[in-house]
Every structure is written in structure tokens, then in C-alpha cells.
Structure 1
Amino acid sequence: MKNRNLPRLAGGVMVAGMLLPTTSSYAADAEQIIRDNCLLCHSEENASAPQFSRMSHQRKTPEGWLMTIARMQLMHGLKITDEERRTLVKYFADRQGLAPEETAGSRYAMERRLNTMESFESADFEQMCARCHSGARVALQRRPAQEWEKLVHFHLGQWPSLEYQAMARDRDWFDIALEKMVPELTSSYPLQSSAWESWKAAPKADLAGRWSFSGQLPGKGDLHGTMTVVAKQGDRYEVSVDGQYADGSPIKGSGRAIVYTGYEWRADLTIDGVKVRQVFAASKSGQQLTGRMFEAVHDEVGADIVAVREGSAPMLLDVQPEYIRAGSRAQLTLVGTGLGEQVSLGDGLQVVKELYRDDNKVVVEVMADAGASEGARQVSAGSANGASVNVFSSIDQVKVVPEFAVGRVGGNGGSTPKYNAQFQAEAWANGPDGKAGTEDDWRIGFVPASWHVEPFDERAKADRDTEFAGVMDARTGKFTTGAAGPNPERKMSTNNAGNLKVVAAVKEGSETLTADGQLIVTVQRWNNPPLP
């Protein structure tokens, strides 16, 4: 007997549908699943070229299709297995996905960059759509006018109190949604596009091979290594990772991956005993991968990753660290593929000694002249280029990244884990005018700092938020939030929410440079869909 349970939840994120269909004939299987399970509510419009009402008139990312199918299960009683759901996600994402150009600018939602501050040209869009969920969730789907109109009706039917909420009760929400937003969404995010037609016709790359990657994990620092990808059936891959952090600690793990829409890489791995996910986009040539790798449960913990396939054109991905002080001696690691013998670092920088070399990594000891001019230097290793190193004389200012963040209480026997916050100190130099905060300021890079929190305002001070909201790691910049639930030690036994100022202190000679950001610690993350 088939297991027809509803989707399992892990930390609130629906994950079962994003794993791998095990059959190679998933298209035929998917169409049969639709005919067997979906035609009570939908209809088949064209049997010879399978087309189904509503379903065939939308395009979405893999995460978007997963959310739609899961909604059918949770709200409309659809009974399918986990395996069937995986097959449907693959089918729809491949046939009705988004072209690479159509996801540009909105990938942060798929990559779980949940502290992203969105901004859109349309005030109507921000007030009508992006006030309840991310605007990226809308931007990562395509519909014709009729489907956008149905979506408006769905919202009002599913959430009948919507018109009485802030930014809705002070206007004729329904008429604005139909008369202004439907045409705007149809124009901005149409079902038909030349980008999608072009991408459907383009050849799709096999992503098997050995990849050189580099990245940066907040709180831990630079990382690099190799990823070995072995092709299996149906756009599936086995993956193994072997690398290290800047401090020499290893990165080892393995798992499985699948590619949707010809370029959307999704992998579930276990690295150093921790379950992680990769959300990458492959370049059209299939020679590069870019995206984010993050912990499955704590998706706030993640690294930006860029990778290049061995055997492609020589390329320099990164120089680690990304800066060197004038008049100093430092060890730099060049990461890429096809790295040649001759390393060039630009004016004022000399290679003193080569410490390590293979095709993907070169480690050199470098001397920077005391009088080296400030600014970026383009670096090359033979014909491999594409990365730079920053030369600076002094750090003039520091910024906290992110400037504004949200953390959430959790745990304490409850069903939702904590959502912590991670901060970095970013060093900057003043430009030629010598003034901070002007257009000619330039970024040096992330630097070590000492960290602490303070009350953000008088209300936070009176409520003793710094005592209850959580604990800041003074060395790494990681803030671990407090436990969920009422706290009898607080006024009115309220929970461990708080409004905090996050302060970074960086030593620069005899001075200490400081900067601050804001952290809101709030209630549990009850609603945690694949697209926020």
C-alpha cells in the first residue's frame, strides 16, 4: 500500500518535494499522476500535446511548483506520495520554469537570503503584494492576465480579512488589485517571453565533472575546495566535496543533486556531519555555478559559492584574503582552474615565495611595497584571470553587514528551532577626498572584529532586552537568540524578543573603529515556505 502522508516538515520548510525522482520516464509518469489525481478539479485541454487547465498556464521555479503542489495537498485534499510530488516538481520545472534571465535579481529568495531589503519601482506592487510576503515570490512566476486575476480572487477567498489589514483597509483594495495590479503583473511577468522560448530551445549542459569552488562563510571566513559530480539517471548527480577553510579546518561531505529547468542546481549534502543544501544556478555554458550553500535547519548559516568546472577555459575565481596592507607581508591563496605558472599581482606587489600549487589552487607569500598605491589590483595566474586583490594603507571606517537583521526565538521544547543572526565587519577606505561617506569611498573587505550588543533605544533599555534576547559571540559575530515561550523574569512574562544595537569594534593601530547595526529578535518562525 502506498504511503500517502502529507508532506513532512523540517524546521518549517517543506523539503520532501525537492529531493530526487527515481524514475527516468518522469514526464510520462507525471502526466499519468495528473490524470489519476488532479482531473477532479482540473481538466485536460489537449491530450495529444498534454495541457491541463490552470496548471499549463503558469511558469515557476522548482520551489514555486513545490509550494503549489503542497498547497493542493494541504488545502484541497490532494493525495499523492512524496515520490509522486518529486516527479511533478521535476516535470513542471522543466516544462514550465523560468529562463536564467527571468530569475536574475530575485534569486535571493531561493537562496534563503532572508535579511535582504527589497525595493521595487512600483509603490503599488510594494503595498499590494510585497507587504505580506517577499516581492521575489511574485517575481519568480509568470502568468497570463486571466491567471493573475484568478490569483487575486484566490487571495481574497483564502484570506477574507485581507481587505481589513493595514495598507488595504484605507483603500479600495479589490478594485486596485483587479484594475491596476493585474495589468501591471501581466506586463512585468507575462507567461510568454522571448527569454523562455530561447532557453527552451538552447542545448542543456551535463554538469558532471570536477569543480573548483571558492566562497565565504560569515563567522568562519574564506573557504575553497573541489566538488566532484558524477552523473546518474534523469538529471541526477552524486556529489562529494573536499575543501578547507582559511584556518585550515577541513570541509568534507557528500550527497545528491538534481538539475531542474536545465540550470537550477539543487543538492542535499551532509558536510562535516551537518545537513546542508545547495541552491546554485549553472551558467548557460555549463562551466560555472554560482549561488549559496546553507544549513538545512539553520538556513541563516550559509556561504556564497562560485565554482568553475575543470577543463573549461582558465579562470581565477578568487584571491583569499581579498586584501593586503601596504608595507606588509601576507599569504594569498589563488583559487580557480587552469592556473598558470606566472602569477601577476599588479603594481607594488611581489611574489616572495610559492608555497603550494596544483591546477586549482596556488598559495604564495606576497610582499606589498610600503608606498604601493591604494586600490584594487587585477590578479592573474598564467592566462587565468577574473579576480582582484585590494591594497590599502589604513582602515578609515567600518560597516556592520547586514546593517539590519531579524532573529527569532525558538527551541525550548517547541517545534520550531531558533533563527539566529550572523554579522560581519566590513572595512572601508576613504577616497581621494579623505572624507567618509562620499561616493569615492572604496571597500577593502571583511575583517576580524570584536562584537557586543546594546539596547537599541530607551524602551529596549527599560525592558532589559540585552539580558533576555540572546547572546552575542564576541569573536565570531554570531548572535544566538533566546529560548521561545513566556519568560517569568520579564515584565508581564513576555517572551525573549528584543530590539538591539549590534556593535563591531576593529583595531586600527592605536585606534578602535566602531560601527553598529540593528537586530530585531522576534517570535518563532511559524510560517517558513521555500519562497519567503
Structure 2
Amino acid sequence: MALNNNKTTRALLGTGALALAGLVTLPAQAADAERIIRDRCLSCHTETGEAATPFSRISEQRKTPEGWMMTISRMQQQRGLVISPEEKRAVVKYLADNQGLAPSETAGLRYLLEKEPNVVESFDQLLQETCVRCHSGARIALQRRTEDEWKNLIHFHMGQFPTAELHAGARDRAWFDIALTNVAPKLAKDYPFNSDAWNSWQKVIKKDLTGGWAMHGYVPGKGTFDASLHATKTANDTYALVLEGHYADGTPLAGKGRAVVYAGYEWRASLTIDGVKVRQVLAASADGNSLEGRMFERDDEIIGGSVKAVKGTAITAVTPSYIKRGERKLLTISGNNLKGNVKLGSGLKLLNVVSRDANRVVVLAEASKNAAVGSNTVKVGSVSAQGALAVYDTVARVEITPSDSIARIGGAGGPIPKQKSAYRAVGYAAGADGKPGTEDDLRLGYMPAAWTLKPFDEIAEHDNDIKYAGTIDKDGIFTPGDAGLNPERKMSTNNVGNLSVVGTVVDGGNSVQGEAHLLVTVQKFVKPVIE
């Protein structure tokens, strides 16, 4: 795409940072989007006359909504494209609907779209050596191209980033030749433009997501929540949202916003909840009865967590997801249309139904001293959640998530805020072999923990990183130190550091610790929509 001199108004530069979840205005019809492409893009692109690929280059790629947003933003910033925000939204909607990815093509890669922090990737060695040195593997895998277009992308990299051949891991080999000869054909095979998955998905009748949803989720620092989400269709694939509910401690939450659905399942919402602007990146199921993904603060993506919403009769969660043998505990069963008798499974006795409505049932339960250690299926009437409640004897080990993470210094009057990191403790009981850390361990779920920090190694201890790199609060949220030089440190270095995050779970008279690695590093000065 490039500047159309006959349509010049003003260059709208710098809009690549616009959060895609905020694209919630009325989308144009396909005909309008095609007109915009003709008006704005055909100074450089051409019409091919082919029905399947009507526009050169543009029609030979498939991408997520975020991927198309990045493409158009790059055309604005680097090629002089003039396009209004409304036109940009319309084109993204059109391209994501008609040249998007099927649900199966995004499976296992949604962490990138959902802004899930600190995911450790593993991709083919050839891609690791040629492409993943600079950006995530998921960024590659969340697009589809013809082989010629994959080759064009390699040529683009050489023109735009000529030092790519000189980076560590590339300068000791013929990077360009390997990329063009070996990588492009592999990408065309692994991530082809034409696929049965996309062809099949295009034929599926997409479900209307209007109506009432029961949503369960987690927010760092506030805990789990249950809420009713009501979606009202205001235009084609656009919904007005009203959210009302409570956190586990009884604190109310309420919010309003809008959502746009791309490609029949990609839910992108922008809401204000209790004065805080948040985003939702969710995927709708093919039957239109569930939404799953992540919700996070617009201005601090780390502060967020997984959410699930159901429209039909279903159980979304049991909280907490564990009960100890011989223990009495309040359990909250969350979901939608929860009617009928509650059954907690073998070895568990329902003592009392404390409160209930269609979306939430709170019960007092007791596990017998001889209850079998294992996962129980919880039922409410005709609906069940397999393995939703674990019965255990003792916490054998604790795992801290994420196991490896990065936080970034910032603030101190500078334009880049601090990038925090948030942690949770997952408890496990030993399985039948009685040994923790083996394949048959029983996952209990997230457990309350006390949080501390310590130096990761001798160098971190010598440099006193624990004093300067940052602090962790009672909720497991780490806040890094200030940006800039620190005269108190050796050679006036900044407040980076190498730390271990320690989570301690108390189980009766037993304390069990888990550790995770945290690297506190410098600011990130370039932040694309897709990393």
C-alpha cells in the first residue's frame, strides 16, 4: 500500500501503536472495504483480475487482525499511506474476515495475541537460527503466505534490515541464501496460504454472540472473579458490553465497553472496569457457547489473567480447585444455568449450600480422612466438570509461574513506564509413586503464597541486586527499580538485576517453596502490536 496522491488529506503517522482491541466502531461492509483498498492502495498494488486473489501482494497473505493492523500501520509509517482511522478499521475487519486464520491455525500460538508474558517458545532449529533470533516464532506462525510471498518477506528483511546477516548466529553462515533457499519453502509448507482448515472454517455458519454470558477470570492483585457479561449487537459483528460481578473477597466489579468479532471467532473487546481501561482477547468456540482467552490492563499488559465465559449450561471453574483429606472448605462453583443437585464426587460430603444463583453456587464441603487422592468430577444438575476438584493429602511441591520471566526498569520521569511481572504458585501432590516431581503428580491448582526475593547467583549477590532491582508485594506482583544510572552501584550502573522469586505455600504445619528465575533488564524502546 502507498500514498494515493489523488486522495491526499494528511499523513496519519504513528498509529501502529493503536491497540487492536480498541477497534470497536461500526465496521464497513465488504464493498466499502474493497473500495478503500482501491482508493488507498492501488498506487503501488494492482488488481489482478483473479477472483481468488484480486489485489497483488495483499491477496496472497492471511493474517490475524493484529497482523493486518501491523501491515497497514507499516504502510502509513514507511510508505506514506494516507488512510483515516475509520477506513483502517474497515480494511482490517475485511481482511481479517476474508484472509484470516482458522481457529485450528491459531491453536497453541494464542499467547502472543493474548499478550501472555514470559512464554518460553520452542520452534524448529532452522527457524530458530534464521528468524527467531529477532522476534517470536509465533509472529511467523500466525500468518500464511504463498511461497513467493514468503520469499518477498525475506527480501523485505534484507532491504529494511540489512544488518540481519551480521547478527550473532547469522554472520557465520550465508543467512540470505539459507533463508531464501531453505526457509521460504519450509514456511510455505508449514504455513501455507491455501489450507483445508481455512477453507472449511469459511464454510461454517458463524454464531451470533448476543446474550448473557457467565464469566470467570483472574486479575493479579485482586484475585478471581465471577461476573455476568451481557452482549448486545449494535452492528455487524459489533457488540455493546455490560459487565457486573464480584471478586472472591466480595468486592464488586462493574464495567462497560464494546467488542468486535473478526473471522467469526476472534473476540477483541475494550472495556472500562471500575475506572480502569482493559482489553479482552478471546476466542469463541465453533458452537458460540464459550469464550476463552485473556483480559489485561490496556496500559499494563502484565496485569491480567485468563478468563472464560459460557453462554450455554456449563461449569467454568471450581474455586479453590483443591480440598485436603479431613478438611472442611467453602467451594465456589462458577458457570451458567447452574440448576439442580450438587455432587462433588467420591469421598466428599456436601454439608450445606451457603448461597446460589444461576451463575454461582457456594457450598460447604468436607473430605473424609480416607478419601482417595485424585481428581473429582463436580456436577450441578445435568452439567459436569471433569477433574475440576482435587483431593490431596499433602502439598509435595510448588511450582511458580512463570518459571522464567523478564521485568524492565522504567519511570523515573522518563517516557517508558516500568514493566512489572506477576507470579502465582501452583501446588502439586505426589502421585501413586509417592515421589514429587514425576509424571503422575496431581495438580492442585493455584494456592495462596508468601512472596520473597533472593539473588539468583553469586554475581547477583555480590552486586547487591536484591537492593536495587525491585520489590515484590504480597500478591506476587514484582515492580522493578527506576530507569537511569544509579551512583550507589558499581560503576554507576542502572538498576538491572538477576533474581529468584520465591513462593512459600503453607499447608498445615508444612511449608513448601517454589522458585522462578527473574531477569530485570532495560527498557524496550520499540513495542510492536505483535512481538
TM-score tier (shorter):
over 0.9
**Equivalent of residue 78 in structure 2, options 75, 80, 91:** 75
2:428 maps to amino acid: W
- The whole-number CA distance in structure 1 between the counterparts of 2:65 and 2:120 is 23
- The whole-number CA distance in structure 2 between the counterparts of 1:210 and 1:17 is 21
- The whole-number CA distance in structure 1 between the counterparts of 2:98 and 2:455 is 51
| Partner SS for 2:440 | coil
* Mapped pair 1:408 → 2:411: no
- Structure 2 partner of 1:128: 130
The alpha-carbon distance between structure 1 residues 3 and 237, as it changes in their structure 2 partners (threshold 3 A), is farther
| Partner SS for 2:139 | helix
Contact conserved, 2:344 with 2:379, CA < 8 A, in 1?
A: yes
* Mapped pair 1:15 → 2:19: yes
Q: Output one character per residue of 1:245-273: Cα deviation in whole Å (capped at 9) or x when no partner.
A: 11111221111110011110000001111
- The whole-number CA distance in structure 2 between the counterparts of 1:225 and 1:17 is 20
- The whole-number CA distance in structure 1 between the counterparts of 2:418 and 2:280 is 21
**Equivalent of residue 108 in structure 2, options 105, 110, 116:** 105
- Structure 1 partner of 2:472: 472
Contact conserved, 1:374 with 1:392, CA < 8 A, in 2?
A: yes
Contact conserved, 2:28 with 2:90, CA < 8 A, in 1?
A: no
* Mapped pair 1:305 → 2:304: no
2:302 maps to amino acid: E
1:429 maps to amino acid: A
Contact conserved, 2:214 with 2:229, CA < 8 A, in 1?
A: yes
- Structure 2 partner of 1:418: 418
- Structure 2 partner of 1:86: 89
Instruction: Using the TM superposition, give the Cα deviation of residue 8 of structure 1 relative to its aligned residue in structure 2, in angstroms.
Output: 4.0
- Structure 1 partner of 2:452: 452
Instruction: Using the TM superposition, give the Cα deviation of residue 219 of structure 1 relative to its aligned residue in structure 2, in angstroms.
Output: 4.1
- Structure 2 partner of 1:287: 289
TM-score by length of 2: 0.95
- The whole-number CA distance in structure 2 between the counterparts of 1:508 and 1:344 is 26
Structure 1 stretches lacking a partner, 5+ long? none
Instruction: Using the TM superposition, give the Cα deviation of residue 415 of structure 1 relative to its aligned residue in structure 2, in angstroms.
Output: 1.7
The alpha-carbon distance between structure 1 residues 3 and 345, as it changes in their structure 2 partners (threshold 3 A), is farther
* Root mean square deviation, CA, Å: 1.7
| Partner SS for 1:150 | helix
- Structure 1 partner of 2:361: 362
| Partner SS for 1:197 | helix
2:68 maps to amino acid: W
| Partner SS for 2:425 | strand
- The whole-number CA distance in structure 1 between the counterparts of 2:198 and 2:109 is 16
1:368 maps to amino acid: A
- Structure 2 partner of 1:6: 13
**Equivalent of residue 276 in structure 1, options 245, 253, 278:** 278
Instruction: Using the TM superposition, give the Cα deviation of residue 512 of structure 1 relative to its aligned residue in structure 2, in angstroms.
Output: 2.3
| Partner SS for 2:213 | strand
Q: Output one character per residue of 1:9-35: Cα deviation in whole Å (capped at 9) or x when no partner.
A: 7xxx4326851343543x222222222
- The whole-number CA distance in structure 2 between the counterparts of 1:273 and 1:17 is 17
- Structure 2 partner of 1:335: 334
- The whole-number CA distance in structure 1 between the counterparts of 2:94 and 2:188 is 24
- The whole-number CA distance in structure 2 between the counterparts of 1:57 and 1:445 is 44
Contact conserved, 1:58 with 1:96, CA < 8 A, in 2?
A: yes
Residues 69-78 or 54-63, more deviating: 69-78
Aligned residues, how many? 523
Contact conserved, 1:16 with 1:86, CA < 8 A, in 2?
A: no
Contact conserved, 1:222 with 1:321, CA < 8 A, in 2?
A: no
The alpha-carbon distance between structure 1 residues 48 and 442, as it changes in their structure 2 partners (threshold 3 A), is closer
- The whole-number CA distance in structure 2 between the counterparts of 1:432 and 1:226 is 40
- Structure 2 partner of 1:33: 36
The alpha-carbon distance between structure 1 residues 220 and 21, as it changes in their structure 2 partners (threshold 3 A), is closer
- Structure 1 partner of 2:5: none
- Structure 1 partner of 2:119: 116
* Mapped pair 1:316 → 2:315: yes
